[in-house]
Amino acid sequence: MYLVATPIGNLEDMTLRALRVLRECDVVAAEDTRRSGQLLRHYEIVKPLISYHRFNEARRSEEILLRLARGETVALVTDAGSPGISDPGERVVQAARAGGHRVESVPGPCALVAALSISGLSSAEFHFVGFLPHKSGARRRVLEAVRFVPGTLVLYESPHRIDRLLEELEGVYPEREVVLARELTKRFEEVVRGTAAALRSAHRERAWKGEFVVLVGADARGRRTEESAAAGVSRG
């Protein structure tokens, strides 16, 4: 079984190996068959597609294991990025390995890595939080739990919850530098930085669209830069 990373926005971000695996596999297990079907058609690849998402992963995992046992090659893809990273895939990987099947990664686009590399924040040590829970109390508990984790914090957030997240970050990390990276690899890619309060104010003036990678600078313990201390918003 191959875990194939797919573009997070720009369709040109497909590796040669990813294309070869998709062309040679027996079946593609996709988070959304419609979206993955568009990708395959773009590259003129014709393969059977089966859905694999969080609502059917138990049943589909069994089917994928049966296919692997028959000697079939399965390529697992998600809507965007690397399978298993805040996306379906972890469960079937565990099952496949427990069943003695070979699992290989076909690496490529990953929003976490892309955002961290251009954020300007330290990448020497970071903690990936992923998507926060939907309920306010649970979200707050997660943010409080990682308050003293060393390094940069990285989260994913949807556009309709970004203002809520900034409000929560303002309460838990009022002085830390926050970076918002949106529309990564797309035409309107944008990276903005400042305190959570400054970013929230800027968001009210011009609502940002697209999926977000949110990065929170490490607790500098008094070593904040003058730029972040000024609580301004900058782009770049």
Bridge partners (DSSP) listed for residue 214: 155, 180
pLDDT at res. 223: 42
Asked if pLDDT for residue 210 goes beyond 70, the answer is yes
Instruction: Output 143-146 pairs: Cβ under 8 A, ≥24 positions apart.
Output: 143/168, 143/169, 143/172, 143/173, 144/172
pLDDT at res. 221: 57
pLDDT at res. 46: 97
Q: Average pLDDT of 47-54?
A: 93
Asked if pLDDT for residue 101 goes beyond 60, the answer is yes
Mean pLDDT of the chain: 91
% of residues, the chain, pLDDT over 90: 82
% of residues, the chain, pLDDT over 70: 93
* pLDDT tens digits, one per residue of 13-22: 999 999 999 9
Edge to edge, what strands does the sheet with 2-4 contain?
Answer: 49-51, 27-30, 74-77, 2-4, 104-106
CA 10, CA 88: separation in Å to the nearest integer?
21
What is the location of CATH 3.30.950.10 in the chain? 111-235
Q: How confident is the model at residue 212 (pLDDT cuts 50, 70, 90)?
A: very high
The CA-CA-CA angle for residues 24, 25, 27, to 5°, reads 140
What would the CATH number be for the domain defined by 2-106? 3.40.1010.10
What is the location of CATH 3.40.1010.10 in the chain? 2-106
Asked if pLDDT for residue 62 goes beyond 50, the answer is yes
Kindly report the CATH class assigned to 111-235: alpha beta
Asked if pLDDT for residue 231 goes beyond 50, the answer is no
In terms of DSSP bridges, do strands 74-77 and 2-4 run parallel, antiparallel, or are they unpaired? Answer: parallel
CA 165, CA 155: separation in Å to the nearest integer?
10
- pTM of the prediction? 0.87
pLDDT at res. 88: 87
Q: How confident is the model at residue 236 (pLDDT cuts 50, 70, 90)?
A: low
By the 8 A CB rule, do 49 and 30 touch? yes
Residue 137, CA distances (Å) to 143, 164, 171 in order: 10, 12, 13
